[in-house]
Chains A and B, each alone.
Chain A
Amino acid sequence: MKALVSIKRVVDYNVKVRVKSDGTGVETANVKMSMNPFDEIAVEEALRLREAGTVTEVVAVSCGPLACQETLRTALALGADRAILVQTDEELQPLAVSKLLKAVADKEAPQIFIVGKQAIDDDSNQTGQMLAALTGWSQATFASKLKIADGKAEVTREVDGGLATIRISLPAIITTDLRLNEPRYVTLPNIMKAKKKPLDTLTPEALGVDVKPRLKTLKVVEPSKRKAGAKVADAAALVDKLRNEAKVI
């Protein structure tokens, strides 16, 4: 059984993001970029399935500029068998990525496609769901546990009220939540091996996918700074302020 995992290159979670002075987005020049943490979890889960003998091949896919190769190399160093980059310099919105991933899924015919539940840059939380809609495959989002047996996937999902366990047929799209696993470290011998693993490049044109943005970003601004608080003498003063100043009670 083949597993595909999607990988997004994002601003590293340790970086304090800054909004570009023209308000068109956040600064990515000279900023450390890394693999989206939810995608790391996706790679880890695929590797565990391979180590358990369920999966025979793990293929990492990324969509974006040439620099995504570096992020894919990290996936290879974690242990993925090969990688595919759908290379484009266009801004890619979730629908475009879903379409590209569908095109790759059509070519590769995996039984399981593991996707991060969201990317920590735009926090859209859409790609996995739209990919399921486009492929017509079953989906299990926000997975915190995954078991594959008898051609079915049993997935524990983190939902508002607690945990829901569902069984779905394959092929399936799984989106990863934080507690699914703890990703391994990249080991030095695997970094050396990753250099020799295949990394193929495709383009949206070759896949016949139109990636033109459908949404327009009007403006990006910094969150407003929190104003200094005030101390009140007693409960009565607090009630007074809440009633007459803040007008919330």
Chain B
Amino acid sequence: MIRDSIRKIAQEHFKPGAAAADREYRPPVENIKVLADNGFAGVAIPEEYGGLGLGVFELMLIMEEVSRACANTAMLMGGTGGGPTPRVIAAVGTDALKKKFLPKMAKGELFAAWSMSEPNAGSDVGNVQTKAIRDGNEYVINGSKMWCSGAQLADVFLVLVRLDPTPGMKGVGAIMIERGTPGFEVGKHLDLIGLHATGMAPLYFEDCRVPAENVIIPAGGMRKLFEILDDDRVVGNPSICLGVASAALEDALAYTRERKQFGRALTEFQGLQWKLADMAIDLEAGRTLLYAAARKAAAGQLTPMDASVAKVYVNEMSQRVTNSAIQVCGAYGLSNEFPFERYYRDVRGFAIGYGTTEIHRNSIAREMILGNYKP
């Protein structure tokens, strides 16, 4: 029922505007209002703060269905009650931070961004150089951040900073910084291959003073954050890939049924049938892996191995499936009059964001070598 309901909302409200949002680089914030009006904004926020406190599995389904209609909207959902920031606040935030941010996020009225990466800290998160130095009851922040999704619309940012001069991850923690704090500036839009309408930008901090109570993760507490993120690796990033890949196959099937060459529908050529079948096999394998991981996450049994295997497979599956969708549609597949090229562009970044597929292969290998995985 959850899937039916969100699918109907997403197909009727989000899909028609998805191409324009991409073309005009305009984040479809009105869709967040639609989600909020129908109770889909505060999905992962605990009930006591006005959310629904739903589990990972339901959230994954919702993300998948939103992405089937518009990947940019799904990315924006990550900034409201469906994303990592509220989950981190709910898990480790002080009462004051929870009260301040969560109820508004649950209504889709407050938008949060997540800022980890820096020009010199990508996969190597431990190399965060943005500094936060204690001065009385405040921290003074200096440095810059890259690739922050939702930055142009966010009201509040969860920012990874070096709270302690200890090198590596031990000195890194996280602090909540509100838009408009003096010394904090959101930079120009960063134009990537796809996901044009997520308002991605760099962040700049120059002697930016933030109250000390905004520290949400103290130096050395990053392990906790990564545990919370493991769930998010299932819910956010690959669910969007799954939704877009499903849309690509669905639309490609409709197109090839209609398109006639040599006097027959393309679907009557066996060569093409097999290609479509391969796309379905790949898609369903990815769906099965991801659903299994989400079920484990919901039961609190997700291992790092499960999360990484599902993320890598679904990321790469979505590239193959959206690529094949272009191929079976020919030049129309490449034209921006059709959605196929957008699907292809939109999924590409997911194999880089939230841990590159190489970094996830590193964790898979580590788990194998440590003996935590029995084939």
Contact = CB atoms under 8 A, between A and B. Distances in A.
A186 B4 contact: yes
B40 interface: yes
A189 B6 CA distance: 12
B167 interface: no
Nearest to B34: A185
Given A73-B1, A74-B1, A77-B1, A188 B8 contact: no
Interface residues of A, number: 14
A192 B52 contact: yes
B352 interface: no
Contacts of B54: 188
A77 B6 CA distance: 13
B291 to A, nearest CB: 18
Contacts of A74: 1, 4
B43 A188 contact: yes
A73 B9 CA distance: 18
Interface string B23-67: 000000000000001111001000000001010000000100000
B38 A188 contact: yes
A191 interface: yes
Interface string A157-189: 000000000000000000000000000011111
Contacts of B281: none
A188 B2 contact: yes
B5 interface: yes
Interface in B291-335: none
Contacts of A24: none
Interface string B1-16: 1101110110000000
Contacts of B43: 188
Interface string A185-210: 11111111010000000000000000
Contacts of B9: 185
Contacts of A194: 1
Contacts of A73: 1
Q: When A and B form their complex, which 4 residue pairs have the shortest distance between CB atoms, in order from nearest?
A: A188-B39, A187-B39, A186-B5, A189-B39
Interface of B: 1-2, 4-6, 8-9, 37-40, 43, 52, 54, 62
Interface of A: 34, 70, 73-74, 77, 185-192, 194
Given A188-B5, A191-B5, 6 more contacts: A74-B1, A188-B38, A188-B40, A188-B43, A189-B39, A190-B39
